Amino acid sequence: MKDWNRSRFPGGLRLLPRGRFLLRALCRSFGGYSRITCAVTDQQACLQYLAAEADDPYSLLICTDYLESGNGFDLVQQARQDHPHLHAVILSLGDAIPAECAEAPWLEAVVAEADFVEDQQPLQAAVMAVLGGHSYRSPSLRTGSLPYLSGPRLTQREYEVLDLLASGLSDREIANRLGVSDQTAHTYTKRLLQTLNVHNRLQAVLKGMRCGMVQI
């Protein structure tokens, strides 16, 4: 996502997910952090930051529907009312759009958590769409059919690694926690991704959530 991150939007990027793991994972998905000028996890703080930067406004807000404090849909409605030129993408951890919001003109883009599978990149597609002046709904939200995610069997060690990934730990931090080398921790993470049949840490934790193997 580095190329479009540098060239597609001139203003700052605002991130507002639920919990520190998603915050860290979304930051990492943008490659460099130079465009991420604010990242918090509650609705009121987000609105305050947007208001404080009115003279040099943010161009893009990415948030989840569930927040540590507040609701992503309510946030986007208020934020776009206060800042008409702000674009917004919601990552729906609940895989749904509230009925009262479905046709709302302020709702530009929604990505279902369930669509972060295999090699799909719905978040990138959503950002590209809104920055081009279009609306976006990820595949599950267009078809009404969620992809089936089976719950593969994990070893005790894989469960431990999944829990640590969900806490936002790096391979080095996992190594320290488990008392193993950095290379061994990297191998554990790689094997977990293979077992879950996913391509990165964010997909691993999202699939673990959906399969009931982990909660954040």
pLDDT digits (tens, 9 = 90+) for 100-157: 998 899 999 999 877 876 556 788 888 889 888 899 998 888 877 665 555 677 888 8
Confidence bin at 55 (pLDDT 50/70/90): confident
Out of 23-37, 71-85, 93-107, 174-188, which region has the weakest mean confidence (pLDDT)?
A: 23-37
CATH class of 2-143: alpha beta
Residue boundaries of the structural domains of the chain: 2-143, 156-210
Q: Which is more confidently placed, 75 or 150?
A: 75
Residue 46 has pLDDT above 80, yes or no: yes
**CATH number among 1.10.10.10, 3.10.20.30, 1.10.40.50, 1.10.1060.10, domain 156-210:** 1.10.10.10
Residue 3 has pLDDT above 50, yes or no: no
| 148-187 b/e (C-beta count within 10 Å ≥ 16 → b) | ebeeeebeeebebbbbbbbbbbbbeebbeebeeeeeebbe
Q: What is the pLDDT of residue 72?
A: 92
For residue range 150-191, list pLDDT tens digits in order.
567 788 888 889 989 888 888 999 999 999 999 999 999 999
Nearest 5°: the CA angle 57, 2, 131 is 45
Residue 60 has pLDDT above 70, yes or no: yes
Rounded CA gap, 114 and 143, in Å?
Answer: 12
Rounded CA gap, 124 and 1, in Å?
Answer: 7
Q: Phi/psi zone of residue 95: left (φ > 0), alpha (ψ -120 to 50 degrees), beta?
A: left
Residue 216 has pLDDT above 60, yes or no: no
Mean pLDDT calculated for residue range 45-72: 86
For residue range 192-203, list pLDDT tens digits in order.
998 888 888 888
Out of 9-13, 45-49, 79-83, 138-142, which region has the weakest mean confidence (pLDDT)?
A: 9-13
Out of 18-32, 42-56, 99-113, which region has the weakest mean confidence (pLDDT)?
A: 18-32
Q: What is the pLDDT of residue 75?
A: 94
Closest CA to 86 of 190, 12, 146: 12
Name the average pLDDT for the chain.
Answer: 80
Tokens of 214: 């982990």
Would you list the DSSP string of 47-83? Answer: HHHHHHTTTS--SEEEEESB-SBSBHHHHHHHHHHH-
